[in-house]
Structure 1
Amino acid sequence: MPTAVPAGAGTHPLSVFRDPASVAVVGASANPAKWGHWLARGALAGRDRRSVHLVTRGADEILGTPTAPSLADLGEVPELVALCVPAAQVAPVVDQALELGVRGFLGITAGVPGAAALAARITAARARLIGPGSLGLFDADTSLHIAWGDFRPGGLAVVSQSGQVGSELAQLARRAGLGISRFVSVGGQHDVTMADLLEDLADHESTEAVALYAEGFDDGQRIFDAVRLLRRTGKPVLVLTAGDSEAGARAARSHTSALTSPTDLVDAACRAAGALRVPTPAALVDVAACLTARVPPRGRRVAVLSDSGGQGALAADCAHRGGLTVPRLSPALSAAIGARLPDSSGTDNPVDLAGAGEQDVSSYRDVARLLLRSGEVDSVLLSGYFGRYGLDSAVLTDAEQRTAGELAALPQRYGRALVVHSMGSDSDTAARLRGDGVPVFPTVDAAAAALAGAVELDARPGRRMSRTVTDDAPPRGYWETRALLMRAGVAFPEARRVHNLRQALAAVAELRGPYVLKASWLEHKTEAGGVRIGLGDATAVTDAFTAMHRRLGDGPYVLEEQDVRDGVVELIVGARCDPGLGPMVTLGAGGTRAELHRDVVTECAPVFAGDARAMLGRLRCAPLFSGWRGAPAADIESVVHIVVAVSRLVARYRDQPIELEINPLRVGPGGSLAVDALLLATPDGPGHDADHADHAHRADHAHRADRAHRADRAHRARRARREQGEP
C-alpha cells in the first residue's frame, strides 16, 4: 500500500500544480502518436526534480521506465495525477486516487460523464482539479511538463481556455525567439479557474508577461482583479478573446446595449485593469516580444531608421496608424546624422541611409546611437534590409553580425527601445538580435503594431474599482428614474406628473411651453405612441392627452417643458451591469440616429472626471463640442459631470442586472439637459415584476389597437373613394 501524502502539504493554494513532489500519468502509452506517450515523455523529463510514475495496463515499460497497472500498485501516493484514460474510466480512477490521498488532478480526457459531480467529490476531499479537457501543464521554473507539445523556456506565461489556441501561442512564441515560463490549458474549469491561475502567476519568478485566451468572462470581475494584481507586480497581460457574435442577442431592449459589443466591454475592462486586448495570436506574440525585450518600449515618440526612402515612409505611416508620433528632429541632431551619412541621405525623421549601409553596415549602429541618446525620441524602429546583408553577400556576414551585437547593446546603454523589421528575419543576424533582447519582425506593419501595442499597454496603469453597493431596488418608470438622476446631479427640464386632464391643464399654467407629454411607465415611448412633442398651448395639450389616454389608459403621465435651445449637440449616456464584467458606462452620439452612427465609447464604472473627458475626446463627433463651423462651444464640463454621476450610480447597483440610459442628453453653451431617461431591470432582475409587465402588456395592446384602428380608417376611406368613382 503506498504511503499517503500529508494533508495540506505545500504552502501555496495551487502548489500541487506548481511543483509537485511526485507525478503519476494514468493512461501512459508506448505509442508515440497517443496523448499518453506525450504526457509520459514530458513528465519523465522532470524526474531529476520529482518522482514520476507511469500507470497503464498496456505495457510493462515505456521510454525505459517500468509501469504499474494501477495507482494502488505504486510505492507512494503521487501528489499530482494526470488523467489520460477513456472518459468512462476517469471516475473510477479519481475515486481510487482520492481514497489513497492524491491532492491534485490534471484532467486531460474530454467528455467525462458527470464532470461537475466528479469535481465536487474532488474538492470535498480537499483536492484540486484542472480540467477536464485540458491540454496540460508546463512550468519552466520547476521542470514540470505534462502536456502535448514541446516548450522553449522563457518569460511568457500562457493561460488558455482553448488548449489548441494556447498551443499555437507557444509555437508562435518559439518562432519569434520567445520562450514559455508557464503554460496552463484550463479545460472545463470545474474547479481551478482562469482567475485562480492568473493570481497564481503573481509571484512566479520567470514570468515577465502573460497571455490570456478566454472565450467568456462569466467570472470577469475576478479575472480582471487578477490582471490588476499582475500589473502591480510588473507582469503585463495581453488578452485574446472571441468576437462579437453575442451582440445581437444583447441589443433587444436599450439603445446602449445595441451600440456595444462583447469586445467593447472586454476592451473597457482591459483599460481599467491595465491590460491590452489583441486581435490574433500572432499579434499577441508580436506585442509580447516587445514587452519581454531587454528594454521594453515606453513613450509614443519613435524615430524611423531605414536604408530605403520607401520603406521608411511606409514604416512612418504604420507607426502613425498605431497611434505613435514620428517627430521632426532638431537641427542639431539632423546635422549630426548628416555628418555620418552621404549627401543624398534623409536626416529628418524618417532617417534614410540612402545606401550607406551597403558601403558601411556600421552606419546603422552610429545613427541608431545618435537617435537613442538624443532624448528627442523614445524608441527607434529600424526597417528594411539590415539582417539580409549576410544572406545575400557572404563577405558582409561578419560585419553585419558585429553590428548586430553593437546595436543590441544600445537600448540598455540609453534606456530606450530598439525594434527591428528585417527582410532577413530568419537570418543568423536576426537570431543574434533576438538572442540579445531586441525584437525582430518579418514585416514592418507587424513591427509597428507590436511597438504601438507595447507603448499603449505601458500607458495603462490600471485603476482601482469601487466596490460600494446599494441594496435599494432600482426605480421604475420615467418619473422615478428622472428623480434618481436629478439627485445624482443630472439636470432635467421642469416637469409635472399628471394622471388626468385636469392635472395636465394645471401643469400647463405652471410650466413654460412648448410642452412634451409622456406616458411615464413605457420603456420605449416613441414606438408605442407614448410621447408627443411641440405642444404649444393648453388646447394642444388637451388634444394630445385625450388621444393618448384613450389609447393607453390610466397611468402616470408627465408633462415637461421642451428644450428648444439652438446650437445643441445630442449625446447618449448609458450604463449597465454586465453579469460577468460588472458595471459599465457608455457615451456616444445620441438622438434618433444613435444606432446609425454607432459613435460610442465604453469604460468600466465608476469613472473619474479625467476618464470622462478622455471618453468625450475619443468620439468622432467630439469636434462638434468645440464650436464646429462657427457654432458656440458646448459646455463640456457639464457632460463630464453627468458621465461621472451616471457611472457612480450604476456602480452602486453593480450586484443588480440593470440598464440605465439618458437619450438624448442635449448639450449646449449653457449646460446639459437630459430630456429622456430609461432604467430597465433586465429579465429576472429586481423590478422586473408583474406590475411592470402589466404596464408593458397594456402599452403593447394599445399600440396594436391603435395600428388596427388606423388601418381600418384607411380601408374605409379607400372604399368611400371607390364608391364615388375615384381611383
Structure 2
Amino acid sequence: MKPDLSRLLRPRSIALFGGGWAANVVAQLQKSGFDGDIWPVHPKRADILGLPCIASIDDLPGVPDASFIGVNRDATIAVVEKLSAMGAGGATCFASGFLESESETAGGADLQARLVRAAGGMPILGPNCYGLINYLDNMTLWPDQHGGLPVDSGVAIVAQSSNIAINMTMQARGLPIAYVVAAGNQAQIGASGIASALLDDDRVSAIGLYLEGFGDIRELETFAARARAKNKPVVAIKIGRSDKARVATMTHTASLAGSAAAGSALLKRLGIIEVDSIAVFLETLKLLHTLGPLPGAAVCSVSCSGGEASLMADLSHGSSLEFVEFAPVQRAALKTELGPLVSIANPLDYHTFIWGDTPHMTRVFSTVMAETFDLTVFILDLPRADRCDPSGYHCAVDAIIAAKARTSARVAVLASLPENMSEAFTRQFMNAGVAVLQGMSEGIAAIGAAISAGQTPAHDPEALLVAGDPAGTATLLSEAASKRALSAFGLRTPRAVSAQTVDALAEAAADLSFPVALKGTGVAHKSEAGLVALDISGVPALVHAARRMETVATGFLVEEMVVGGLAEVLVGLTRDPTGTFLLTLGAGGVLTELLADTTCLVLPASRTEIETALKRLRINRLLDGYRGKPAADPNALVDAVLAICHYAAAHCDQLIELEVNPLIARVGDAIAVDALISLDDACMKKGISP
C-alpha cells in the first residue's frame, strides 16, 4: 500500500528538527504566511526566530502533519522512526550521505535501507532533499529562498534536482505554480508517486516532471493512466540525452537507439509530453494551464510586421504547426477592414495602418479569431518600462483582450524575446484568459507540445512489457540458432545449411539452389571482418571463398540468395536499463549507420503503431515503390516485425538484445537475411530454451 501524502502536502502542523537549516524553513514559513502550528525542536536553543523551541520530539504538543528533518544522517533515521511510531503525517529528509554517496562513502546504501524501514508506513521525501512548497495554501517546507507567490490554481512541478526546482521558482514568466516538490533520493516515494498524489488536488491544472531517471516503471505507468483519467496533461524533461553508458557490444541497434531514444519512446507511449529545455518546459506548462491541450494544429499568427510574420513562418518550419489559410468570408472581411495595401495571408502582417485605433483593431482581431483556428497567436513585444513608455502599446493589449471576450477563441500572445513581456502585462492577459508565451522559439515549441498533448489517445495503452535486470552475462546465439528461434514465431528466413569445415561445407551445400551467400560464423559484425561473400554461383567458388575465411571463422553458414529485394530494413530490440524493451526500425544493410534513419517504439507495439513508424522512415519511399519500381508488401513487412516482437514477449525474462539486419522487403514477402540474439547467460545455464 502506497503512503498517503495528503497530510504532508497540505499540513496544519509542522515540526522542525535541526539548527541552521530548520531556522531557514521557519523563516520561509513566516514569510509565506503559513497559519498553522510551527514547532521547532532543539535541545539547546530557547527559540528560533521568536518561536519557542521544544526540547525533544517526546515533548511535542501534538502529532505533526509534516516535519522537516535537518539533522545528520544517523540522527535522521532516529527521528523518522519516532515520528512514524507516533503517527506523523510525513517528513522531508534533508541530510545527504545516503545512497547518492555510496561510491565515495561506504555504508550509504545500508543507511538508506534503514531509513526506509524506520519510516514504515509514514511517507518521507528524500533523503538528500530540499522538501516541498505549496503555494496554494502558503506552506513552504523549504530551507532556502524561492521566487513563487500564492496562487488559487496552477501547475505542480516534481523535480529530481532541488537546485533546478529552486531555479524554476525564480521564473518571471507569469507561470502560476501550485506545488514544487523535490524528490531527492526517492528512497521510499518516487517522482511518479509524488506526482500521482498531486493529481488529487483539483486546483492543479497540469503536472511538470524534471527527471534524471524513471524509477519504478509500473508506478510511472499508473501515474500516466491516472493523469489521462483526470484530463491533466503531463510535461517532462528527461535529462541524460548524451549518456554514453550504452555501448554497442553486439548490434547496430544498440548504437543507434541509446537511452535518450528509449526514454523518448517510453514517454510518448505513456502520453507524457517531452520537451528539451527548462524554458520550453515552463512555457508549455503555462500554455496548458491557460488553454489546455490544443484540439488541432491549425494556428493563425498575427503581427504588425512582415519581419515577425516571416520569422514566425521560418521558425515553425518542420514543426507540427499548420498555418491554414483564411476562409473566403473571413478573407473578404479582413480585406475590407485592412484595405488594398495589406495582403491577407497566414501568418498575417496587418501593418500599422490601424495602430492606435483600438475599436478598429478589435474588429480586425475579432474577425481573425472568429474562424475555427485551434489557436490564434499575436506577436507582441512591449517596450521596457524602465527606459521607455509602453503606453502606446495599450491599444494592442486592450484590442486583443476585447476580441478574446467577444469570440471565446483560444488566444495567445507571443513575445519574440522573453524579456519583452513584463509580469504585469502577463497577468493582465492571463486574467483575461489569454495565454502568454515568451521567446519565439520557445513559444513555437510550447505550441507544438500543446498540439501533441491534444493528440494523446484518451484510452490506456496496453501494459508495457517489462523485465527485471539480467542475472548474468550475455550469451550470443549463432546466426543459425537465432534464425531458428525466430522462424518458430513466423519470421521467414532463407534456406540454409551450416558446416564447421570447408570440406563439410561443399557436401552440405549440394542441395541448395545457387547463387548462394557464404558467411563465416563466430563474429558478430561479419561484413566488417570480411566474412561475407555474395552471389556465389557454384561449389568451386564456394570452397574458394571459404578457404579465404577459415583462419578467422569458427564455422560456415550458406544460404540461398534472396533476390528481388526492394528495401533493406533493420529491426532491433534492446532491453533498456528501465526493463522496458525498445523496438528500433530503420534503414538496414549497408545504409544502417550511413543514414541513421530510425524510429523507435516501446513494446508491446500494435500493428497500427508499427505501420505508422515505418511510414516515418526516409526509406519508406523505397517501400512504397520508387521511380517505377513495385511496392513492397506492407502487410508482410509488418507481419515480420510482429513475429520478432512476439518472440521478445515470449522470452522477455532472458532476452537482452536482438537484431534482424537486414530484413529484405519484397513484393510478396519479407525475409530475414541476418539475425542475432543475445540472452541472459544465467537463464541459459538453467536450461531455458531460446
Gap change, CA 1:444 and 1:663, over 3 Å in 2: same
Task: State the shift of 1:332 in Å.
Answer: 2.3
Gap change, CA 1:665 and 1:105, over 3 Å in 2: same
Gap change, CA 1:639 and 1:308, over 3 Å in 2: same
2:267 aligned to which of 267, 270, 294: 270
Is the aligned partner of 1:124 residue 2:110? no
Cα distance in 2, alignment partners of residues 247 and 343 from structure 1: 59
The aligned residue for residue 155 of structure 1 is 154
Gap change, CA 1:398 and 1:539, over 3 Å in 2: closer
1:17 aligned to which of 8, 26, 45: 8
Is the aligned partner of 1:69 residue 2:62? no
Is the aligned partner of 1:84 residue 2:70? yes
Cα distance in 2, alignment partners of residues 535 and 579 from structure 1: 42
The aligned residue for residue 661 of structure 2 is 663
The aligned residue for residue 698 of structure 1 is none
Is the aligned partner of 1:352 residue 2:349? yes
Is the aligned partner of 1:26 residue 2:17? yes
Task: State the shift of 1:71 in Å.
Answer: 1.5
Task: State the shift of 1:246 in Å.
Answer: 2.7
The aligned residue for residue 290 of structure 1 is 287
Structure 1 contact 469–651 (Cα < 8 Å) conserved? no
The aligned residue for residue 101 of structure 2 is none
> What letter is aligned with 2:96?
A
Structure 2 contact 246–255 (Cα < 8 Å) conserved? no
The aligned residue for residue 721 of structure 1 is none
Deviates more, 1:450-459 or 1:63-72: 63-72
Cα distance in 1, alignment partners of residues 117 and 198 from structure 2: 25
2:639 aligned to which of 625, 638, 641: 641
Gap change, CA 1:533 and 1:287, over 3 Å in 2: same
The aligned residue for residue 448 of structure 1 is 444
> What letter is aligned with 1:575?
L
Structure 1 contact 302–378 (Cα < 8 Å) conserved? yes
> Which structure would you say has the larger Rg?
1
After the TM superposition, which residues 300-315 of structure 1 pair with which residues of structure 2 at under 5 Å, given as runs? 300-315=297-312
State the identity %.
Answer: 26
Structure 1 contact 16–103 (Cα < 8 Å) conserved? yes
Deviates more, 1:296-305 or 1:626-635: 626-635
Cα distance in 1, alignment partners of residues 27 and 510 from structure 2: 87
Residue aligned with 1:647, SS: helix
Gap change, CA 1:421 and 1:122, over 3 Å in 2: same
The aligned residue for residue 492 of structure 1 is 493
> What letter is aligned with 1:561?
E
Structure 2 contact 497–508 (Cα < 8 Å) conserved? yes
Deviates more, 1:354-363 or 1:38-47: 38-47
Structure 1 contact 474–686 (Cα < 8 Å) conserved? no
Tell me how many residue pairs correspond in the alignment. Answer: 669
Task: State the shift of 1:203 in Å.
Answer: 1.8
After the TM superposition, which residues 546-625 of structure 1 pair with which residues of structure 2 at under 5 Å, given as runs? 548=549, 552-553=553-554, 557-565=556-564, 568-625=566-623
Cα distance in 1, alignment partners of residues 424 and 124 from structure 2: 44
Cα distance in 2, alignment partners of residues 192 and 429 from structure 1: 39
1:409 aligned to which of 400, 405, 413: 405
Cα distance in 2, alignment partners of residues 649 and 371 from structure 1: 54
The aligned residue for residue 231 of structure 1 is 228
Structure 1 contact 44–52 (Cα < 8 Å) conserved? no
> What letter is aligned with 1:631?
K
Gap change, CA 1:117 and 1:542, over 3 Å in 2: closer
Task: State the shift of 1:654 in Å.
Answer: 3.5
> What letter is aligned with 2:624?
S
Task: State the shift of 1:672 in Å.
Answer: 2.1
> What letter is aligned with 2:352?
G
Task: State the shift of 1:486 in Å.
Answer: 2.3
Gap change, CA 1:96 and 1:218, over 3 Å in 2: closer
Task: State the shift of 1:686 in Å.
Answer: 3.2
The aligned residue for residue 654 of structure 1 is 652
Is the aligned partner of 1:144 residue 2:143? no
TM-score by length of 2: 0.87
After the TM superposition, which residues 380-391 of structure 1 pair with which residues of structure 2 at under 5 Å, given as runs? 380-385=376-381
Residue aligned with 1:356, SS: coil
After superposition, the C-alpha distances for 1:289-341 in whole angstroms (9 at most, x for unaligned) are: 11111454331111111111121121122233322111222332211111111
Task: State the shift of 1:585 in Å.
Answer: 0.4
The aligned residue for residue 4 of structure 1 is none
Gap change, CA 1:244 and 1:338, over 3 Å in 2: same
Structure 1 contact 578–657 (Cα < 8 Å) conserved? no
Structure 1 contact 296–417 (Cα < 8 Å) conserved? no
Structure 1 contact 162–187 (Cα < 8 Å) conserved? yes
Structure 2 contact 582–600 (Cα < 8 Å) conserved? yes
Structure 1 contact 570–591 (Cα < 8 Å) conserved? yes
Task: State the shift of 1:493 in Å.
Answer: 1.6
Cα distance in 1, alignment partners of residues 682 and 465 from structure 2: 19
> What letter is aligned with 2:415?
H
The aligned residue for residue 108 of structure 1 is 94
After superposition, the C-alpha distances for 1:244-289 in whole angstroms (9 at most, x for unaligned) are: 3333643232100011122111110111001121111111001111
For structure 1, the residue ranges without an aligned partner over 5 or more in a row are 1-7, 30-34, 693-727
After superposition, the C-alpha distances for 1:9-54 in whole angstroms (9 at most, x for unaligned) are: xx9633342334532111254xxxxx32331134457886643211
1:321 aligned to which of 306, 318, 321: 318
The aligned residue for residue 102 of structure 2 is none
> What letter is aligned with 2:141?
I
Is the aligned partner of 1:436 residue 2:427? no
Task: State the shift of 1:490 in Å.
Answer: 2.2
Residue aligned with 1:292, SS: helix
Cα distance in 2, alignment partners of residues 507 and 247 from structure 1: 44
Deviates more, 1:11-20 or 1:193-202: 11-20
Gap change, CA 1:312 and 1:262, over 3 Å in 2: same
Task: State the shift of 1:492 in Å.
Answer: 1.6
> What letter is aligned with 1:426?
S
After the TM superposition, which residues 443-482 of structure 1 pair with which residues of structure 2 at under 5 Å, given as runs? 443-461=439-457, 463-466=460-463, 476-482=477-483
Cα distance in 2, alignment partners of residues 268 and 324 from structure 1: 21
Task: State the shift of 1:159 in Å.
Answer: 0.9
Residue aligned with 1:253, SS: coil
- Across the aligned residues of Structure 1 and Structure 2, the Cα RMSD in angstroms comes to 3.4
Deviates more, 1:70-79 or 1:299-308: 70-79
Residue aligned with 2:214, SS: coil
The aligned residue for residue 371 of structure 2 is 374
The aligned residue for residue 543 of structure 1 is 544
The aligned residue for residue 724 of structure 1 is none
The aligned residue for residue 471 of structure 2 is none
Residue aligned with 1:372, SS: helix
Task: State the shift of 1:184 in Å.
Answer: 1.2
